[in-house]
Chains A and B, each alone.
Chain A
Amino acid sequence: MKEKTFIKTRNVILTGVGGQGNVMASRTLAHMLVDAGYVVTIGETFGMSQRGGSVMSHLRISHDSVKSPQIPRGGADVIVGLEPLEALRVLTVYGNPQVCVLYNSRPVYPIGVITGELSYPSGETIRDAFERLSAACWEIDATSVGLRLGNPVLSNIVMIGALSKTGLLPFDRRRFEKEIKKTLSAGKYKVNLKAFDAGADMIK
């Protein structure tokens, strides 16, 4: 059943580095929204394109129709970054003065940075850029929460929990619980719900 309807399509980009659980997070989010009555289109790439590189999922949440699996330049409403640099990279292509950004503060260094050929902007520089270039932004340390819960990859669910609390998208804990009940084993279900709650608690 549809609970709320946007007038306009909502464009969400989830981004991170291959291996951070980007695809799983975007599908979980999309399944919840389809369940809520929306027409969702996800565009993503996986396969070799993920190996250590930047990854992105485009989610188009519409009340009535399928959309292009690629969001136009400057067309994002919400950016969720599992990694700060990747969130910023997406913002510079798909951002606009109305965009809202939620990002995980823990960097994953590109090889060029590890070798010393390139440099990674400081946390301060990244924070400043988001503040200047978005309408609202939230920075949380989701990886540390994941580590505390036993697996850093849980940071993707921490981010989904935080996203629910921002109110940017129409889903809540009940919907998440229903979704993961279908897809996860009992053990994984518990820790994922914990990760979701921990994320939600980080948004004030």
Chain B
Amino acid sequence: MSKLLSPDRSTVLFLGNEAIARGALEAGIEVATGYPGTPSSEVIESLAGVARERNLYVEWSVIEKVALEVAAAASFAGLRSMAVMKQNGVNVASDFLLHLTASGTRGGVVLVSCEDPGALSSVNEGESRYFASMMEMPLLEPTDFQDAKDITKWAFELSEAIGNVVMLRSVTRMSHASGNVTCGKLPTKRRNAAFEYDGPVMDSQTGPMISTPVMAKHLLRQQKLKDVQRMFDNSPFNRYTGPAKPDLLIITSSACFLYSCEAVEMLGLQKRVGILKLATTWPLPPNLLEKYLRKAKTILIVEEVMAFLEENVKVLASGIAGRVGVKTFFGKYNGALPFAGELNPDIVADALGKILKVKRKSLPADYQTDVQKTAALIPVREQTFCAGCPHRASFWNIHNAIALDGRKGFVCGDIGCYSMAALSPATGYHTMPTLHSMGSGTGLASGFAQLSRFGLDKPILAVCGDSTFYHAVIPALINAQHNRADITFIVLDNAGTAMTGFQPHPGLAVSALKDVVPAVDIAAICKAIGAKVAVSDPFDLASTSRILTSFLADKGSLKVLILRQACALSPEKKGKKAFDVKVDESLCIGEACGCNRLCTRIFRCPALTWDRDTKKAVVDEVICAGCGVCASICPQQAIVKTEVSAPG
């Protein structure tokens, strides 16, 4: 049995994302959708794992906007549903969201945004909390794992109570952290889907689901938010801990609550500092805040990235200053906490210590000195493509083709593991100078290609992954064709949404529920658009380089090269070597070769290392994935690959 279906009252270790999934199951969810993105993916993955047993419909949608639309349809038909995405996914879904909050919803529908302060696995630390106030929808932020489950369950009830979508926000340190959770009951009854639309336009249960009449519906929504404030005032998920009259009141939410507790403990300030934990952060609960703002003159707001909570608390406090008195606020605006990056107990303790003039116990001075000296000996470990990664071979090919062409072409990057080609010179052979949102590489390339008339006369390339292709590249590619942009567009097709854990996408013949589905062929789409299309294996350096070189020389049209090779970590490949790779020591002539250590200085595979004693290349058998590409780059042919016979 899946851990997610553990019996009522059992205590299990859940990932924050699993706790959210369990909460949804306890709420009796029928439909769950999402697009993969760290740190959100495990919510949908774990629900997909129990979909058959629980009779759910779960899908990986092609893009977040569609995920929310599919979830909304279930809500309109009276079912409970959830759409799950990472922070920037909410941007993508926001156009529909604007209209969804305006039309209202029926069955409970929850938008889950798992965000990444500090950009631990993102190229942005975008905030979706502002969408809650902008779209006027309630925002819930769990502060621990039990909360994550319980609040998710409650979010569906809240959504139904107000007839609108509710947003639940998590962060990496909640979604990808784990903790004890005591399970509740799983419902046994199911709802039937029925969509009514013949009633009066203002009837939320029988009328059409539309955003008009705009003003009337807008006012109705704002009225409902008054009810939400009352519910939030009485919510058991908001809690105060600390003395009756604290010297300082911390107001916090999300994982920052745990950092705040730890910071207070580290400084031994339990008798001086109180913590108001808010799980309901928009709209703020006015009476609850008034009650606790009365308790202290000094307020510290602890939150990550932007000052969303601080701004809203300040607005509320200024409105009731006559009753609660004037406060001294510490937070982002006065510099106590940073506006960027994630927090941790140390950052909060340092801020708190400074305000209350309390010093932290430090380590012995000689220990600290020794630690500093030792730290100086430790080389950095840059992120890099894995051993056997097809992207290393692809960028090797791209770099060489651009160099051969000689006109200093460049690559517009996109979102996937291959983004690392932009992050670090260690991986990309200096070819990828732009990196933005999903699909933007192709859009930018389409724009750069128009600039030759203004003097920017270089070959323009763009890359994207297979999942990204379906997500947001297609409109940009059609734009390129329609406007006759001369670009070489390369699909790095590694047979799955690899970076987030091999979720299926429309190019594969399998769905989230493991049903066989028709695969949507990238090459056929590109041909239908009118591009010249070629397919190659990036591990075949000779043929890939031939195609790329001819594409760069072929001016005036849209060219698409699909580089197909599965990710080295993919379930079908993992741990299985295609080749045994060894360096023949008699052939490797080390630094005398004249290649200037092409293998280890330039190619940069973590499995191909340099023996400082023998001064020759050596393959680390523990790390080598057996792709055999390095055998094609050695000018001495000293790297030898032998095919591994099928495992017997």
Whether A72 lies near B344 (C-beta < 8 A) is yes
Which of B258, B266, B499, B575 has a CB less than 8 Å from the CB of A48? Answer: B499
Whether B382 lies near A110 (C-beta < 8 A) is yes
Query: Would you list 29 pairs from A and B whose C-beta atoms are within 8 A, ordered by A residue?
Result: A27-B13, A27-B178, A34-B11, A41-B178, A41-B258, A42-B178, A44-B177, A45-B176, A49-B121, A52-B384, A52-B606, A53-B381, A66-B144, A68-B261, A70-B259, A89-B378, A91-B374, A92-B371, A96-B363, A97-B364, A111-B384, A112-B382, A114-B604, A114-B606, A116-B597, A121-B377, A133-B371, A151-B575, A153-B575
List A residues 28-53 near B (Cβ within 8 Å): 30-31, 34, 39-49, 51-53
Whether A110 lies near B381 (C-beta < 8 A) is yes
User: B367 in the interface, Cβ–Cβ < 8 Å?
Assistant: yes
A46 to B417, CA, bound (A): 13
List A residues 41-86 near B (Cβ within 8 Å): 41-49, 51-54, 66-74, 85-86
User: B172 in the interface, Cβ–Cβ < 8 Å?
Assistant: yes
Q: Say yes or no: A114-B610 contact (C-beta < 8 A), given A31-B13, A51-B420, A92-B378.
A: yes
Whether A17 lies near B386 (C-beta < 8 A) is no
A30 to B120, CA, bound (A): 23
User: A184 in the interface, Cβ–Cβ < 8 Å?
Assistant: no
User: B12 in the interface, Cβ–Cβ < 8 Å?
Assistant: yes
User: A185 in the interface, Cβ–Cβ < 8 Å?
Assistant: no
List B residues 603-628 near A (Cβ within 8 Å): 604, 606, 608-610, 620-623
- Extra contacts, 10 of them, besides A46-B38, A111-B384, A119-B379 (Cβ < 8 A), are A41-B177, A47-B176, A49-B120, A68-B261, A69-B258, A73-B346, A111-B604, A115-B604, A116-B600, A133-B371
Whether B606 lies near A70 (C-beta < 8 A) is no
Interface size of B by Cβ–Cβ distance < 8 Å?
67
B500 to chain A: closest residue by CB? A47
Complex interface: chain B residues within 8 A of A136 (CB): none
A115 to B605, CA, bound (A): 10
User: B262 in the interface, Cβ–Cβ < 8 Å?
Assistant: yes
Complex interface: chain B residues within 8 A of A151 (CB): 575
Please encode chain B, from 358 to 375, with 1 for each CB lying within 8 Å of some chain A CB and 0 for all others. 000011100100111011
Which size bracket describes the interface of A in this complex?
35 or more
Whether A111 lies near B349 (C-beta < 8 A) is no
User: B65 in the interface, Cβ–Cβ < 8 Å?
Assistant: no
Complex interface: chain B residues within 8 A of A186 (CB): none
Whether A48 lies near B417 (C-beta < 8 A) is yes
User: B426 in the interface, Cβ–Cβ < 8 Å?
Assistant: yes
User: B385 in the interface, Cβ–Cβ < 8 Å?
Assistant: yes
Which of B180, B349, B379, B386 has a CB less than 8 Å from the CB of A19? Answer: B386
B84 CB to closest chain A CB (Å) equals 15
List B residues 6-60 near A (Cβ within 8 Å): 11-13, 38-39
A179 to B30, CA, bound (A): 32
Complex interface: chain B residues within 8 A of A67 (CB): 258, 262
Whether A30 lies near B178 (C-beta < 8 A) is yes
Whether B13 lies near A43 (C-beta < 8 A) is no
Complex interface: chain B residues within 8 A of A27 (CB): 13, 178
A14 CB to closest chain B CB (Å) equals 13
A114 to B176, CA, bound (A): 31
Whether A110 lies near B610 (C-beta < 8 A) is no
B606 to chain A: closest residue by CB? A52
User: B149 in the interface, Cβ–Cβ < 8 Å?
Assistant: no
User: B601 in the interface, Cβ–Cβ < 8 Å?
Assistant: yes
A94 to B172, CA, bound (A): 21
Whether B378 lies near A51 (C-beta < 8 A) is no
User: B528 in the interface, Cβ–Cβ < 8 Å?
Assistant: no
User: B328 in the interface, Cβ–Cβ < 8 Å?
Assistant: no
**A positions within 8 Å CB-CB of B:** 17-19, 27, 30-31, 34, 39-49, 51-54, 66-74, 85-86, 88-89, 91-92, 95-97, 106, 108-116, 118-121, 125, 129, 132-133, 143, 147, 151-153
A121 to B382, CA, bound (A): 17
Whether A45 lies near B120 (C-beta < 8 A) is yes
What 4 A-B pairs have minimum CB-CB distances, sorted nearest first? Answer: A47-B38, A47-B121, A69-B177, A118-B379
Complex interface: chain B residues within 8 A of A125 (CB): 377
A113 to chain B: closest residue by CB? B379
Complex interface: chain A residues within 8 A of B345 (CB): 68, 70-72
Q: Say yes or no: A54-B381 contact (C-beta < 8 A), given A47-B38, A114-B600, A147-B622.
A: yes
A41 CB to closest chain B CB (Å) equals 5
A129 to B377, CA, bound (A): 10
Complex interface: chain A residues within 8 A of B499 (CB): 47-48
Complex interface: chain A residues within 8 A of B419 (CB): 48
A71 to B177, CA, bound (A): 12
B623 to chain A: closest residue by CB? A108
Whether A40 lies near B121 (C-beta < 8 A) is no
Which of A48, A86, A96 has a CB less than 8 Å from the CB of B367? Answer: A96
B492 CB to closest chain A CB (Å) equals 15
A153 to B374, CA, bound (A): 28
Q: Say yes or no: A72-B179 contact (C-beta < 8 A), given A66-B144, A89-B378.
A: no
User: B173 in the interface, Cβ–Cβ < 8 Å?
Assistant: yes
Whether A48 lies near B177 (C-beta < 8 A) is no
Complex interface: chain B residues within 8 A of A111 (CB): 381-382, 384, 426, 604, 606
Whether A51 lies near B386 (C-beta < 8 A) is yes
Whether A118 lies near B380 (C-beta < 8 A) is yes
A109 to B371, CA, bound (A): 22
A89 to B371, CA, bound (A): 10
B420 to chain A: closest residue by CB? A51
B590 CB to closest chain A CB (Å) equals 12
Whether A121 lies near B608 (C-beta < 8 A) is no
List B residues 223-264 near A (Cβ within 8 Å): 255, 258-259, 261-262
Whether A40 lies near B179 (C-beta < 8 A) is yes
Whether A42 lies near B179 (C-beta < 8 A) is yes
Complex interface: chain B residues within 8 A of A112 (CB): 379-382, 426
Complex interface: chain A residues within 8 A of B330 (CB): none
Complex interface: chain A residues within 8 A of B377 (CB): 121, 125, 129
Whether A43 lies near B370 (C-beta < 8 A) is no
A183 CB to closest chain B CB (Å) equals 9
Whether B379 lies near A133 (C-beta < 8 A) is no
Complex interface: chain A residues within 8 A of B362 (CB): 74
A110 to B378, CA, bound (A): 10
Whether B121 lies near A48 (C-beta < 8 A) is yes
A27 to B177, CA, bound (A): 11
Whether A70 lies near B173 (C-beta < 8 A) is yes
User: B410 in the interface, Cβ–Cβ < 8 Å?
Assistant: no
B578 CB to closest chain A CB (Å) equals 17
User: B395 in the interface, Cβ–Cβ < 8 Å?
Assistant: no
A25 to B372, CA, bound (A): 29
Complex interface: chain B residues within 8 A of A97 (CB): 363-364, 367
Complex interface: chain A residues within 8 A of B178 (CB): 27, 30, 40-42
Which of B146, B346, B367, B622 has a CB less than 8 Å from the CB of A133? Answer: B367
Whether A52 lies near B13 (C-beta < 8 A) is no
A43 to B120, CA, bound (A): 13
List B residues 196-212 near A (Cβ within 8 Å): none
Whether B121 lies near A45 (C-beta < 8 A) is yes
Most chain B CB inside 10 Å of its own CB: which residue of A27, A39, A41, A151: A41
Complex interface: chain B residues within 8 A of A70 (CB): 173, 259, 344-345
Q: Say yes or no: A34-B12 contact (C-beta < 8 A), given A40-B178, A66-B179.
A: yes
A22 CB to closest chain B CB (Å) equals 13
Q: Say yes or no: A68-B610 contact (C-beta < 8 A), given A30-B178, A47-B500, A52-B381.
A: no
